Amino acid sequence: MIVARVLLLATVAALVLALGIGFRPVHADAGFGIADCGSAFQPVHPTEDEDVLSDPTGAMMALAEVAEAKCEEARSGPEQLARACLAGSAVLLIAAVVYARRRRARLTEREAHHA
């Protein structure tokens, strides 16, 4: 029973770690300032914030595209790590369920054998 509890505790820890990494704010140096990139699970896209009508030359949109590329690069690492933690938590949860079922089956078999 201790093994199943340890597996469940590890599952919860991996899930909390994934959520912590996935929702942690990410910032990137875009060359002209620090860009707010949102987080791996809730990205902010600088190009969506630009108003095309107030930028007839397109200079601000070009800067926003540079910031978007830097943000995409900055978010990729935490996103991959958070997804790996989510996958690990799923594997640990499956292992805990399989272990608990096998243990329960062994106990039922022992009780039937001794009865």
Q: Distance (Å, rounded) from C-alpha 48 to C-alpha 7?
A: 43
Q: Which residues pair with 36 in a beta bridge?
A: 27
For all residues of the chain together, what is the average pLDDT?
A: 85
Taking CA atoms, 8 is separated from 4, 23, 75, 89, 105, in Å, by 6, 22, 29, 9, 19
Predicted pLDDT at 106: 85
CB 40 within 8 A of CB 75: yes
- CA of 107: how far to CAs of 4, 59, 93, 102, 111, in Å? 15, 71, 21, 9, 6
The Cα 5–Cα 54 span in angstroms is: 59
Model pLDDT for residues 17-41, shown as the tens digit of each residue: 999 999 999 888 878 888 888 888 8
pLDDT in tens, 46-55: 667 656 556 6
